[in-house]
Chains A and B, each alone.
Chain A
Amino acid sequence: MEKNKTSFLKKPAVQTLLASLICILLGLLVGFVVLLLINPAGAWNAMKTIMLNFWTFNSTRGQLKNLGNTLVKTAPLLMCSLSVLFAYKVGLFNIGAAGQYVAGVGMSLFFAIGMKAPWWLCVIMATLAGALLGAISGFLKATRNVNEVISCIMLNWISLYLVNMLLAPYMDINMSETWSLKKNFPAAVLPTLGFDKLLNNHQYITLAVPLSVVIAVCIWVLLTKTKMGFELRATGLNKNAARYCGMRDRFNIVLTMAIAGGLAGMGASMYYLTDMIKWPMAVTAVPAMGFNGIAAAFLGGLHPIGAIFSSFFIQHITDGGSFMEKIYPAEIAGLISAVIIYMCAFVLFFKQQMNKDRRSGKKGGKAS
């Protein structure tokens, strides 16, 4: 029995990181080409704007303000990506993060405005709403073998229109959106715990940002260090073996989807309870946050810690995109992330390329 010391480049973590970086580079390249096609003169500057985001501002004040804005939006994105990757590790594709997120929005705002509840209750209710939605998909999968993708997509729309109905009475008619929490329901706004001080008393920075990072770490611990994670991953990798070993495979599927849904729902409350965003009247499209979570999850190599960075990165270039000169559509940033996500599908391919030797070596290894 020989113990091969794996070289630096062959380490799975390094490979995932490299593959993700390659995806990012390719995505940026394609974005740049599109910018060139639209207007070659300003393309380089526009690209710089996307990349730099808040650094394009000259004053420290402006920089901190915009960095803060990006961070506030990163928190829900990270939560959605955690939702997707958690389910994915258990062999489920939670495309329903979008709908669970919407349910979270609905519950946050309903309890904040309709019930005049304190922030923590709003967060709990949002989490539960997301979890319930996830559990429905999980239950259908476990008992009736309904593909979770199908049920999730349908639930996305169901949840969207239910939330429209639920929040209809709480609209500020002048603004065509839900009431500002800060002005009318300050108890429902997330506490800052002093984190706003770090960014020049940023208006919207709350405990949500650090909390989302803590939760990412918790998810990592849950998946890799605990008995529950052991069971859930075993169920995801081979549900027959899990069943044979006496694990409750069906229950595990429901539980997984409930946790995934809870993460997305909680993410929504972490954003809407900052008062930076409101729910507009009669929304007709499921907010992109949940879907972007899929992108962030894959770009982060389906690793909770990777998701922290990938979520920030995607939010970073998206915000950067909005600062470009107006001759360029802000959607360029969307295009870049789209290409990156597309490339993420090739992460596996890149990894295989890097592993080519090792794979054949493995086959040979059997002969020992």
Chain B
Amino acid sequence: MENQYAIEMLHITKRFPGIIANDDITLQLRKGEIHALLGENGAGKSTLMSVLFGLYQAEEGVIKKDGREVKINDPNDANALGIGMVHQHFKLVECFTVLDNIILGVEPTDKFGMLKKAEARQRVVELSNRYNLQVDPDAKIQDITVGMQQRTEILKMLYRENEILIFDEPTAVLTPQEIDELMQIMKNLAAEGKSILFISHKLAEIMAVADRCSVLRKGKYIGTVNTKDVTMEELSAMMVGRNVNFHVEKPEKTPGKVILDIKNMSVKSHSHSGDAVKNVSFQVHEGEIVCIAGIDGNGQTEFVYGLSGLEPLSTGTITLEGKDLTRTSIRQRSLLGMSHIPEDRHKHGLVLDYTLEDNIVLQRYFEPQFANMGFLRRNNIRQYAEKLIEQYDIRSGQGPITIARSMSGGNQQKVIIAREIDKAPSLLIAVQPTRGLDVGAIEYIHKQIVEQRNRGKAVLLVSLEMDEVLDVSDRILVMYEGEIVGELNPKTTTPEEMGLYMAGAKRQ
């Protein structure tokens, strides 16, 4: 009987000191299928893939390719077996062209060692036509969109004639349209006989594209299901181990007085000569969550930079509780009651090589309770950190002295949220607070944001996720090319209507 599996990982167990990262995990990838690997952050997905790529050796279990047992000692072995991977963070040389990146490492050369680029180029064009992967072979990586960069990565695998394609959280960096395109590409690839392993924790995408789904939880194998036989709720319960409430519970609340008042705000763009934010005016009230929705790159980042003081305004004023903040420093704004959960927690939110406790006091280390006569009051910092760790259920290896870098994404985000909320702000700015997090963490963060609103704080949420916008907000402002093009009521609007505003097809 012909073997139906392209790759089988049978009863894989991988231990690290003090922890079993993979505990008897079985993953069988059929030929020509799209198989999703679902699990929360830290469930053991990465470890399993590292075992498949020979980066780690499993203590127990076997790997089979086409029914034959194989030994994978390093990534070269994996490549030789036709296993390729698109990493979440692309491995591309920025200043090389698409073509150069594709052939990098497997350059075709003549007998004098000279590159035969024309030949390579022809193959790349052929491949890109065959799989409908549009790229410009001569464009430099730094000049092309993230979507095209990802297609370049896919072409890299195809150029190497890989049969087993692994996508590691491929949609995290894409716009909604690009996600749709990617889904189609994956289906095409599977139809052409490639076997695809799709690592994700986004349930909707898994339901849309995968044939089967294997679920991991806390290093254990929970099961494999056909996606058409299960609902999203069932999948999420398998992943988290309990039922997750997708809908955010939110009592009715009448907004109070104006907290934040923005008038005619413009911020200069870094990529072109004009303004990235154009003449934006709106207000946020007490006990209200206002959400700025829009497709990535429509000025949201610059808007938040302007509001938080990271960038100067070119025009306009910002007033917080009646005080003019337009020309004040970042520190001043923070002291006057502005908290900011930044978009990029690694770039802005944390000093990754600082400990958890140092990150907890990053906004307040200078306050008398934490610093006296220029010296840090370590005991107080420790106590305060321990309090927040307890209160916000921040999990880490070594408690307050854990280096932030070693923590999981969800817990890193919790550190930032604990820090920003505990400052007791009058305005909380949360920018994509759930990006890259699993459902459990998302649920938690949404709860915290709503809790702040219920306590009468003003919340400004900037989000790219349609569901988040509709679920959490009390009022939606859609930003398109730096302008507010519409104000919508989440209770009455539909995703379709919002999409029209987000795409610039409609405006009020």
Contacts and interface: CB of A to CB of B under 8 A. Distances in A.
Contacts of A245: 330-331, 334, 362-363
Contact of B376 (A4, A225, A240): A225
Given A237-B354, A365-B19, A1 B399 contact: yes
Given A1-B396, A244-B310, A244-B342, A367 B353 contact: no
Nearest to A368: B19
Contacts of A360: 16, 56
A245 B329 CA distance: 10
A218 interface: no
Given A243-B310, A364-B18, A364-B47, A3 B366 contact: no
A269 B331 CA distance: 39
B348 interface: yes
Nearest to A229: B376
B16 A234 contact: no
Contacts of B310: 243-244
Interface of A: 1-4, 225-228, 230-231, 233-234, 237-238, 240-247, 357-358, 360-368
Contacts of A226: 374-376
Contacts of B376: 225-227, 230
A365 B397 contact: yes
A363 B47 contact: yes
Contacts of A233: 354
Given A4-B18, A237-B352, A360-B16, A368 B395 contact: yes
Interface in B194-241: 218-219
Contacts of B329: 246
B347 interface: yes
Interface string B425-443: 0000000000000000000
A227 B18 contact: no
Nearest to B409: A366
Contact of A242 (B333, B334, B351): B351
B330 A368 contact: no
Contact of B19 (A240, A358, A364): A364
A241 B17 contact: no
Nearest to B419: A245
Given A1-B397, A225-B378, A244-B310, 4 more contacts: A225-B376, A246-B333, A365-B19, A368-B19
A355 to B, nearest CB: 12
B158 interface: no
Contact of A241 (B14, B43, B349): B349
B407 A366 contact: yes
Nearest to B358: A230
Contacts of A358: 17
B320 to A, nearest CB: 15
The 5 closest A-B pairs by CB, nearest first: A364-B16, A246-B331, A246-B330, A244-B348, A361-B17
